[in-house]
Amino acid sequence: MKKTLVTILSLLVVGAAHAGCPGYTDEELLMENYGDDRHVRSASSPQWLEAVGKFVHVKNPQWQLDQGDEKEFEICSVSLVSDTVGGDGQIIVGAGHCVVQWVSGFNRKESSYIDALRATTSGKHWESDTVYDWDFREENTAVIFTSQTGEVVKRRLEEIFFAETDRGDYFIGKLDDPISYRQIKPLLNAPADYSDLLDQDEFPGAFATMAGFSRDSGRGQNGKVMTYDVCNLAGGQNGLKMGHCYTYGGASGGATAVTVDLRNANRENAEFWVEYFEETLNGRFEQKEYTFWVGNIVGSRCSQAKENRTFFTESTHHTRLLDAILLDHR
């Protein structure tokens, strides 16, 4: 397995960021902007960043490969997500447009989580606007995490449970083997909407971060390192919210997270939220700092490709679907 993963990385061909944006060259879109205040992940960075992985995959549709086309590779990002404190991780969430090449027009089948899907906002449109059948081979994927201590953990994408590429932009998938909590600590799925977690009355000092493997030629070092930006999150249409963060091609699918510190809340509020977290997630909580996964990075619209505007699909867009999948993989 290691040999194949190394081969994938060595053959990597960097694709265009914000493909199809008229008036911009690839170099312009991947050029670091004035005012960019991202950080490069280091040993002193927040530990939760280890749950953000690099997703290296073949971007050719399988039918092209079957015809003998040469493989082309692309970098995206993903998050390892769990609903259990101290639990191993096997479920990842990324950007739907990073796997759209594997949509098959043959052998259509419903997602095994179709009932949970229909209970979500995205599920209302699943018949016509979402994809739920996949034609890919896991040997054409590599998902790579690096722990806070520098340990590299490699897996493959084994299954895609569901993805949406229209009203939302996300996919939920499963790794071929779980990752031990001792190696990589998954991000906890948000127990509330991101706007609730950022409510300064409830959670004084709460803040949001976006993290991924941006392929800019500046701090991102062409996707070789993880970069992250602390920023404000705003609103938007369902399935596509906006954050005032800097990201570049390659960060798609990366984490949008909110950090709350219950030690900053008044005692009554802190006790309420500890109880609520325990009712919503599996595990014991304390009055301390927690970082929750609240959505996946999508990218910038063409009109905002040179500004600190990054869109993300919020977790509440598909929360019942993700909840059902995480429950089955505890």
Residue 326 is inside which H or E element, if any? helix 319-328
pLDDT digits (tens, 9 = 90+) for 237-258: 888 999 999 999 999 999 999 9
Q: Which residues of 59-80 are buried (b: 16+ CB within 10 A; e: fewer)?
A: bbbbeebeeeeeeebbbbbbbb
**Rounded CA separation 57/11 (Å):** 11
Range 224-246 average pLDDT:
93
pLDDT in tens, 199-214: 999 999 999 999 999 9
The answer to whether 206 touches 231, Cβ cutoff 8 Å, is no
pLDDT in tens, 157-192: 999 888 888 778 999 999 999 999 999 999 999 999
Rounded CA-CA distance 138/126 in Å is 25
3-class SS of residue 276? helix
pLDDT tens across 265-292, in order?
A: 999 999 999 999 999 999 999 999 999 9
* pLDDT score recorded for residue 135: 75
Q: How confident is the model at residue 17 (pLDDT cuts 50, 70, 90)?
A: very low
Q: What is the pLDDT of residues 99-157, one digit of tens each?
A: 988 875 554 556 677 777 777 765 555 554 444 556 788 999 999 999 999 999 999 99
| pLDDT > 50? residue 12 | no
Calculate the alpha carbon distances from 311 to 206, 246, 294 in Å: 20, 10, 12
- Give the C-alpha separation, 115 to 321, whole Å: 8
At residue 305, the pLDDT reads: 60
Give the model's pLDDT for residue 125.
53
pLDDT confidence tier of residue 10, bands split at 50, 70 and 90:
very low
- Please check whether residue 52 is in contact with residue 65, taking contact to mean a CB–CB distance below 8 angstroms: no
Confidence of residue 8 (pLDDT cuts 50, 70, 90): very low
- Above 80 in pLDDT, residue 49? yes
Tell me the average pLDDT across 78-98. Answer: 97
Label residue 13 by pLDDT band (50, 70, 90). very low
Counting Cβ atoms within 10 Å, is residue 143 exposed (0-12), middle (13-18) or buried (19+)?
Answer: buried
CATH fold of the domain at 2-14+33-328:
Thrombin, subunit H (2.40.10)
Highest mean pLDDT among 12-21, 22-31, 179-188, 301-310: 179-188
Tens digit of each residue's pLDDT (9 = 90 or more) over 307-328: 788 999 999 999 999 999 999 9
Give the rounded percent of residues in the chain with a pLDDT score beyond 70: 83
The SS3 call for residue 244 is coil
Locate the domains of the chain by residue range: 2-14+33-328
Tokens 């990324």 sit at which residue?
A: 94
Give me the pLDDT at residue 109, please.
57
Residue 124: predicted pLDDT: 58
